[in-house]
């Protein structure tokens, strides 16, 4: 076998090549480590970057979330809530921009925002009613917070209503007030009066006056202008008229003022001048209260018309002095029993002397079937709400609460 000698140079080259190859092999772990390190670093860097993204997202979310806090009282779902004083919406760390409160029918409850931070209703709430609340507040950066809630008001055990006159749809005289008599005495008059809204066309100021704790009358300063349309909104449902006693009335009443008729009775002259729109259209002989039974002086409003009625002295404190079962053409002037009526038993008193027990008498016939008799004419030409003014009698002026006779008070007294 021939063996070829290996030269030193060749060996050196191969060895060097082998070393280079060895170095290359030794370098693989280092390179792999470096690569792994780079990979880990990249992953770590990527993880750090992703973590920074989540932090940014959280920071961004925090930066877009409003700092305003809305609080609604009563709490959501509350029941038997009081109709007054319980509802309030407030905002902290921000300003209220919108509050909408509605009942089950979608009717919005009026209210106002005070100081930018508190909303309260400007009226009471209805009883036994579910309400929804929608409130929006804004912080200093203009970011909004929205809160929604609902609650139900109490069902009262004790209630009251107002019995009113005149009737809805009626046409009345220029002296007719709108008068309410409550079925329970009122100890919170401001709350009740606030719940009654009166509008007129043409517009005129109308004010209320309390007579005791169960009667409230409304009128303008002077007699109504003929043709005036009056609308009364009785929003008494839920009003606490006295502790534990709530109104249950929600009604609108409208009436119209007819022509102007004011009749002036002169007790000394024994006459009555009937004035229509400021002009005398007829002068009628009358008889008024005799001495000791004098007719009230003052302005009295016709509150009731009866074609025939019974008059008994016992009902007005005069014992058995008279009992007339068929008084014709009677119109009430006072609660205490003063009427202007037909008189068929007066003989020659009309226009000559005073012979009654306090009423104003006009000549009539028994049965009231003579249309030409003065009493029949006056009855047919009068409206509930017309004014009869008596002067020159020996009695004092009628009390404003004795009938619908508040016109005997000055406007300043009325508004006190």
pLDDT averages per 10-residue partition of the chain, 416 residues: 42 39 40 38 39 54 83 98 98 97 96 96 97 97 97 98 98 98 98 98 98 98 98 98 97 98 98 97 98 96 97 79 92 97 96 96 97 98 98 98 98 96
381 among known catalytic residues: no
CATH of 69-153, one of 2.10.109.10, 1.10.10.10, 2.60.120.700, 2.60.40.3780: 2.60.40.3780
Query: In sequence order, what DSSP letters do the residues of 135-160 get, joined into one string?
Result: EEEE-TTS-EEEEEEEEEE---SEEE
Give domain limits for the chain. 69-153, 158-257, 261-404
The pLDDT of residue 57 = 52
298-314 residue pLDDT tens: 999 999 999 999 998 87
What class does CATH assign to 158-257? mainly beta
> Which of 188, 359, 381, 394 is an active site residue?
359
Q: Please name the helix (run of DSSP H) or strand (run of DSSP E) that holds residue 375, with its range, or none.
A: helix 374-380
What is the per-residue pLDDT for 56? 58
Q: Are 260 and 228 in contact (CB under 8 A)?
A: no
Report which of 71, 89, 247, 90 is spatially closest to residue 154, judged by C-alpha positions.
Answer: 247
pLDDT value of residue 317:
76
Q: Residue 338 contacts by C-beta under 8 Å, 6 or more apart in sequence?
A: 295, 296, 300, 332, 358, 359, 360, 398, 403
Fold agreement (69-153, 158-257):
yes
Query: Would you call 100 helix, strand, or coil by DSSP?
Result: strand
Q: Are 249 and 184 in contact (CB under 8 A)?
A: no
What is the model's pTM?
0.81
Q: Quick one: pLDDT at residue 401?
A: 98
188 assigned to active site: no
Query: Rounded to an integer, what distance in angstroms lies between the CA atom of residue 322 and that of residue 290?
Result: 14
Identified catalytic residue from 341, 357, 381, 394: 341
Q: Report the chain's terminal Cα–Cα distance, integer Å.
A: 147
pLDDT of residue 48: 42
Compute the distance between CA of residue 340 and CA of residue 361 in angstroms, rounded to an integer. 6
Pick 261-404's CATH classification: 2.40.440.10, 3.90.1150.10, 3.40.50.620, 3.40.50.10800.
Answer: 2.40.440.10
Residue carrying the six token digits 């606490």:
240
């Amino acid at each position: 076998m021939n063996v070829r000698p290996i030269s030193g140079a060749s060996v050196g080259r191969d060895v060097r090549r082998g070393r280079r190859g060895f170095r290359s092999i030794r370098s693989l772990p280092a390179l792999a480590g470096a690569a792994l390190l780079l990979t880990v670093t990249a992953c770590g860097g990527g993880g750090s970057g992703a973590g920074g993204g989540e932090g940014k997202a959280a920071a961004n979310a925090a930066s877009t979330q409003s700092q305003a806090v809305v609080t609604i009282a009563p709490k959501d779902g509350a029941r038997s809530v009081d109709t007054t004083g319980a509802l309030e919406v407030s905002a902290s760390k921000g300003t209220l921009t919108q509050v909408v409160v509605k009942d089950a029918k979608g009717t919005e409850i009026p209210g106002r925002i005070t100081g930018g931070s508190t909303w309260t209703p400007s009226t009471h709430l209805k009883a036994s009613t579910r309400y929804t609340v929608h409130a929006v507040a804004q912080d200093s950066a203009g970011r909004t917070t929205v809160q929604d809630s609902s609650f139900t008001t109490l069902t009262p055990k004790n209630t009251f209503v107002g019995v009113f006159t005149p009737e809805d749809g009626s046409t009345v005289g220029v002296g007719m007030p709108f008068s309410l008599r409550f079925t329970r005495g009122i100890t919170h008059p401001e709350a009740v009066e606030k719940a009654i809204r009166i509008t007129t066309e043409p517009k005129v100021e109308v004010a209320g006056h309390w007579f005791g704790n169960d009667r409230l009358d409304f009128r303008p300063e002077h007699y109504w202008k003929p043709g005036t349309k009056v609308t009364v909104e009785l929003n008494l449902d839920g009003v606490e008229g006295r502790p534990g006693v709530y109104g249950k009335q929600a009604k609108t009443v409208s009436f119209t003022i007819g022509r102007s008729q004011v009749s002036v009775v002169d007790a000394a002259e024994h006459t009555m001048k009937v004035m229509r729109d400021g002009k005398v259209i007829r002068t009628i002989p009358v008889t008024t209260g005799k001495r000791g039974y004098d007719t009230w002086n003052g302005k009295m409003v016709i509150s009731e018309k009866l074609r025939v009625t019974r008059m008994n002295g016992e009902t007005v404190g005069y014992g058995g002095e008279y009992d007339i079962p068929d008084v014709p053409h009677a119109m009430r002037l006072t609660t205490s029993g003063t009427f202007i009526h037909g008189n068929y038993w007066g003989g020659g008193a009309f226009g000559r002397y005073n012979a009654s027990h306090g009423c104003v008498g006009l000549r009539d016939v028994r049965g009231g079937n003579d249309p030409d008799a003065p009493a029949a004419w006056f009855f047919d030409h009068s409206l509930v709400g017309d004014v009869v003014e008596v002067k020159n009698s020996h009695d004092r002026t009628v009390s404003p609460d004795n009938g619908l006779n508040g016109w005997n008070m000055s406007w300043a007294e009325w508004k006190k």
